[in-house]
Amino acid sequence: MNEASSFDLHLAECTAQAAAIWVVLDGLLWLQLNRRPGKLRTEFLDRLLERAGTITLPMSKTPEGSDAPEWIARRYWQLVDTFAARHRA
């Protein structure tokens, strides 16, 4: 196994774990947020978006590196934005 495939496997494992955690948290937060008044829900979502911007996302170390880190970053923001939009309504 070369270094690139090892890195890709590590990213795949991390992504799978993050996806599983996201599913559980999404369900728990949905239950909690639906019981909160609009102002508290808005404050929570604003803070969530603020904190989401502080996460350091993976990047390829070389120009010919894997597309996986860029995909993860793009998907991360899709999930965060979708979650916030769904619960703002």
* SS3 of residue 13 by DSSP: helix
Interatomic CA distance for residues 47 and 33, integer angstroms: 14
Q: Which of 83, 24, 19, 20 is nearest to 49 (CA)?
A: 83
pLDDT at 62: 66
pLDDT in tens, 20-73: 888 888 888 888 888 888 888 888 888 888 888 888 776 766 666 667 777 777
Q: What range does the domain containing 60 cover?
A: 3-88
Question: How many domains does the chain contain in total?
Answer: 1
Amino acid at 39: K
Residues 87, 41: contact at Cβ < 8 Å?
yes
Query: Rounded to two decimals, what is the model's pTM?
Result: 0.56
Going by the DSSP 8-state scheme, the letter that residue 88 receives in this structure is H
Q: What is the DSSP letter of 64?
A: T
